[in-house]
A and B are shown apart, each in its own frame.
Chain A
Amino acid sequence: MHSFWILIFYLTKLQQTEKIMENSDINRENSYINFKIGKEYFAISVYKVLEIIQFEQITQIPNSSDFIRGVINFRGTIVPVIDMHKRFNIEKPENENRMVVVVDMQNKEYNVTMGLLVDQVVNVIEFNYKSIRSVPDLGIRYNPEFLEGFVEMDDHFIMIMNVDRVLSVSELSAVDEEVRIA
């Protein structure tokens, strides 16, 4: 089941790259990875995603931030895995069905690879930028800054994740002051 979606993911990514090459029109359909954290649906652009892997072994790092589940060996480098339940303040389902979406985050300050620990990778969806609606400030449990907006699809809402914000290095690297000073 998972490997099927992973295959689809790669095919879509390939297709998208070709699309970009032929036309960079803003109106085109964009591909997103759609995944679930708890009961909620989220999506991030395929361009940010390097790979989707099964969550198997993880090494915990004592005294690191609560959001960090641990580190994994991803293609020979150490990659931190962020617990999305903790980050979004969403309850963990009982049978943790775990997948790690490995994303590549690049901005002016950092070039970091991180893994997002999610419950289920659902599918790859396509939609137009124009269909993204802005998020109301009220009525969500987590920081509204974490979202770029949402789309409605198949009778449910899909939250578009603001990856750079969610994976803010300064927030995630913060540890108990006590530990650091001691």
Chain B
Amino acid sequence: MTDEFRTSFVEEALELLNQLETDLLQLEENPDNSCIIDSIFRIMHNLKGNAGMFGFEKVQNLTHEFESLYDRIKAGKLKITGEIIGVTLKGKDLLQAMLDNSYSGDEDVLVTAMLKQQFLGEIAPMEAATELSGIHTSNYAILFSPDRNIFERGLDPEKVLKEINHAGNSHCKVHEKEASGKQKHEKECHTKWEIYLNTSLKISEVEEIFMFYDQEEYCVFEISNNLACLDPRLEELITQLYPDKTSPAEYITEQLEILIDNSGQEYEKPEETGSQSQTTPSDVSKPDANNNTIHVSSLKLDELMNLVSELVITAASLEAHGSQFKDTRLNNSIENLGKLTKKFRNNALDLRLIPVGTLLNKFKRQVRDLSKSLGKSVNLIIDGQNIEIDKTILKSIENPLMHIIRNSIDHGIESPEERVQKGKKAEGQLKVSVFYSGANVVIQIQDDGRGINLDKVRECAIKKGYIQSDQPTSNQELLQLILEPGFTTSDNVSIVSGRGVGMDVVRKELNAVGGSIEIETEKELGTSITLKLPTTLSIIDTLMIEVNNSPILIPLLDVEYCYKEKRINLANQDNKFVKYKNNPVPFISLREKFKYSDHENDSEMVIIINKFDNRYAIIADKLIGEHQAVIKPLGELFVNQPYFSGGSIMVDGKLALILDTNFLFNQIAAN
């Protein structure tokens, strides 16, 4: 039972982490949006609480630190900086790994330690990415003993102390200077400070704080982790200050512990800060606005879909039989049932649809990280993220999309210098637009990079024997080659440097869900990749045909035209083409393909299939009519069988097979 809860907790937590990432990326653009900060805080708080319950100790600890951090930010004690967002994103990754159980190592300890150390002060600006999450802190011991006459020099030691306080986590001891016999004067400084500081600043930067003071007035020592090798000068100074202490190292350790304790007290703020007024700037979408959602396992949805499809079939069969009786009331009820079933079906189908944005927002992060690591500047624009698509389809295109986006950033978009040289804006643009086109959803990925080098593609195609060296090939044909399996292995072509998924796999995965891919490219202007996808997998409109008395379904979207043709006209042809709109269109006879014996009819049905403006014809015996097909998988036994993508139960309980028009198309294209 606990396992069950644990799984559901992990699921929920992973979703929260996704939300967190979206929030962080929004926050990066609007650092002052208190709503987002609240949301991040709530997520951390929520995770912390639940993680504890389910024994994810590391998650609990890490979220605790983040919760405290964001609590401070909420209270206005800290300002959002790039570093904070960087660290939190890093933390998000760690949390995700912990929840996936794929986590090992001790990065979390480093992050936790770093967070703790940063709590007292504001996170200071510093050098970009060093090792872990770009933030590394060190401990310093500072002895500051300004000259007596500093006030006359117009200096205020207070300012220095404030600055140190800002630089990081510090704690300070005040010593009176040893009486030098003279009368103390009000306008003289008789104090010296012993300061311990934890900060991300480098030693030279700490010394800069004292730029107005003379060399003799301050000393800064970096305390390495190995306390055994303290700077001898520091040791000497400490022995001077505390003659009764035996070991300076021990003393330093004590001081550093105080430093950490200090940060502990600081963050344990009561929750009252949460009651701050919330303001919602209008330009940013409010997180979670009115989105009352419940979580349902996809298994349950599948079950529901199964029941609905059964119901659709039963209702249709009832309608067929009911019409035999001349009973108006019965038929009225049946008609109503039919209408309700249809509504019910559409509603149920709708449940499986989720906005594309849920996937695309994940890419924001990837784009951010990838472009940073490549030293490129990329502006990701997402258009139409509210368009909905079947969850299964969305999941199956995640990897292909990722691959395409990576390619665009890696190979398409140039480095800022190169772009400026070419007269483009330094910041590259990557636009992902999603829109409906008929019953399809189209996802278009456009970049304004250098485009695909077609000359290189041609060179490589010749080398690999795809085309002859003297063969004229259109650009479109060359681009098609990129999608060929095996072509990706070439490292000559920039767009296809294999990253696990090649473009051929992209095409394969798209075909598997009934989608397609198109590439357009223009030298120096960029590349545009268009993915066409069906909105849903489970129910499609089909045209029912018959071959050798068995019904076969063709997705209606693919059908362009049907007509009857004399058998002789087809049989007497050598080159298997039919004439359609004055163009020759290759045809496939299903009877022949499926190795059925010939039939005696003197006419055949020709169905013109249009696959994204490429046409071919299917020859069948008879046309039966339209059929709304609830697609069912054929199962394990037919994985090697390529002609059919599934089956559908008909009104009479019989099964009809759904023809895979993509496979036939590829087969024709291959010949």
Residues of A within 8 A of B (CB): 57, 59-65, 68, 71-73, 76-80, 110, 112, 114, 169, 172-175, 179-180, 182
Stretch at the interface among B267-275, B457-465, B632-640: B632-640
B159 neighbours in A (Cβ, 8 Å): none
| Measured CA separation A175–B593 after assembly (Å) | 14
| Measured CA separation A174–B641 after assembly (Å) | 9
Interface status of B306 (Cβ within 8 A of chain A): yes
| Measured CA separation A79–B165 after assembly (Å) | 73
Query: Is the CB–CB distance between A173 and B639 below 8 Å?
Result: yes
| Measured CA separation A166–B641 after assembly (Å) | 20
Q: Output the residue of B632, B633, B634, B637 with the most chain A CB within 10 A.
A: B637
With known contacts A59-B654, A62-B594, A78-B632, A180–B640 Cβ distance under 8 A: yes
Query: Is the CB–CB distance between A71 and B634 below 8 Å?
Result: yes
Interface status of B233 (Cβ within 8 A of chain A): no
Interface status of B595 (Cβ within 8 A of chain A): yes
Interface status of B435 (Cβ within 8 A of chain A): no
Nearest Cβ in chain A — how far from B312, in angstroms?
Answer: 11
Minimal Cβ-Cβ distance residue in A for B593 = A62
Interface status of B644 (Cβ within 8 A of chain A): yes
Query: Is the CB–CB distance between B656 and A76 below 8 Å?
Result: no
8 A Cβ contacts from B626-671 to A? 632-644, 647, 649, 652-657, 667
The contact of B638 among A60, A61, A72, by CB within 8 Å, is A61
Query: Is the CB–CB distance between B638 and A173 below 8 Å?
Result: yes
| Measured CA separation A112–B653 after assembly (Å) | 21
A173 neighbours in B (Cβ, 8 Å): 636-641
Query: Is the CB–CB distance between A61 and B644 below 8 Å?
Result: yes
Nearest 3 Cβ contacts at the A-B interface? A62-B594, A59-B655, A80-B637
B636 neighbours in A (Cβ, 8 Å): 110, 112, 169, 173
The contact of B649 among A76, A112, A175, A180, by CB within 8 Å, is A76
The contact of A76 among B309, B635, B637, B654, by CB within 8 Å, is B309
Query: Is the CB–CB distance between A62 and B656 below 8 Å?
Result: no
A79 neighbours in B (Cβ, 8 Å): 635
Query: Is the CB–CB distance between A59 and B596 below 8 Å?
Result: no
With known contacts A61-B657, A62-B596, A180-B642, A77–B632 Cβ distance under 8 A: yes
| Measured CA separation A61–B633 after assembly (Å) | 13
| Measured CA separation A78–B594 after assembly (Å) | 20
A78 neighbours in B (Cβ, 8 Å): 632-635, 647, 655
With known contacts A59-B657, A62-B593, A80–B638 Cβ distance under 8 A: yes
B93 neighbours in A (Cβ, 8 Å): none
Interface status of B333 (Cβ within 8 A of chain A): no
Query: Is the CB–CB distance between A61 and B640 below 8 Å?
Result: no
| Measured CA separation A63–B310 after assembly (Å) | 28
| Measured CA separation A174–B633 after assembly (Å) | 18
With known contacts A61-B657, A62-B594, A112–B642 Cβ distance under 8 A: no
| Measured CA separation A173–B619 after assembly (Å) | 27
A73 neighbours in B (Cβ, 8 Å): 649, 653-655
8 A Cβ contacts from B586-603 to A? 593-596
Query: Is the CB–CB distance between A76 and B643 below 8 Å?
Result: no
Say whether chain A's binding surface is mostly helix, strand, loop, or mixed.
mixed
Nearest Cβ in chain B — how far from A108, in angstroms?
Answer: 13
Contact with A along B609-636 (1 / 0, CB 8 A): 0000000000000000000000011111
Minimal Cβ-Cβ distance residue in A for B310 = A76
B298 neighbours in A (Cβ, 8 Å): none
| Measured CA separation A172–B641 after assembly (Å) | 11
Query: Is the CB–CB distance between A63 and B656 below 8 Å?
Result: no
The contact of B641 among A64, A72, A77, by CB within 8 Å, is A64
Query: Is the CB–CB distance between B595 and A112 below 8 Å?
Result: no
| Measured CA separation A57–B549 after assembly (Å) | 12
Query: Is the CB–CB distance between A63 and B647 below 8 Å?
Result: no
Query: Is the CB–CB distance between B309 and A72 below 8 Å?
Result: no
21 contacts between A and B (CB under 8 A): A57-B653, A61-B657, A62-B596, A62-B643, A63-B593, A63-B595, A63-B641, A63-B643, A64-B638, A64-B641, A71-B634, A76-B306, A76-B309, A76-B649, A78-B632, A80-B635, A80-B638, A112-B636, A112-B637, A169-B636, A179-B642
A61 neighbours in B (Cβ, 8 Å): 634, 638, 641, 644, 657
Nearest Cβ in chain A — how far from B361, in angstroms?
Answer: 35
Query: Is the CB–CB distance between B637 and A169 below 8 Å?
Result: yes
A59 neighbours in B (Cβ, 8 Å): 550-551, 647, 654-657
B550 neighbours in A (Cβ, 8 Å): 59-60
Q: Output the residue of B593, B595, B655 with the most chain A CB within 10 A.
A: B655
8 A Cβ contacts from B443-487 to A? none
Contact with A along B131-172 (1 / 0, CB 8 A): 000000000000000000000000000000000000000000
A114 neighbours in B (Cβ, 8 Å): 637
B649 neighbours in A (Cβ, 8 Å): 73, 76
Contact with A along B157-195 (1 / 0, CB 8 A): 000000000000000000000000000000000000000
Query: Is the CB–CB distance between A175 and B654 below 8 Å?
Result: no
Q: Output the residue of A60, A169, A172 with the most chain B CB within 10 A.
A: A60
Nearest Cβ in chain B — how far from A122, in angstroms?
Answer: 27
Nearest Cβ in chain A — how far from B3, in angstroms?
Answer: 21
B633 neighbours in A (Cβ, 8 Å): 78
B644 neighbours in A (Cβ, 8 Å): 61
B637 neighbours in A (Cβ, 8 Å): 64-65, 68, 80, 112, 114, 169, 172-173
Query: Is the CB–CB distance between A175 and B640 below 8 Å?
Result: yes
B593 neighbours in A (Cβ, 8 Å): 62-63
A72 neighbours in B (Cβ, 8 Å): 655
Q: Output the residue of A61, A65, A180 with the most chain B CB within 10 A.
A: A61
Minimal Cβ-Cβ distance residue in A for B642 = A180
B654 neighbours in A (Cβ, 8 Å): 57, 59, 73
Nearest Cβ in chain A — how far from B624, in angstroms?
Answer: 14
Query: Is the CB–CB distance between A71 and B596 below 8 Å?
Result: no
Query: Is the CB–CB distance between B594 and A63 below 8 Å?
Result: yes
Minimal Cβ-Cβ distance residue in B for A62 = B594
| Measured CA separation A57–B636 after assembly (Å) | 21
Nearest Cβ in chain B — how far from A51, in angstroms?
Answer: 15
Nearest Cβ in chain B — how far from A54, in angstroms?
Answer: 12
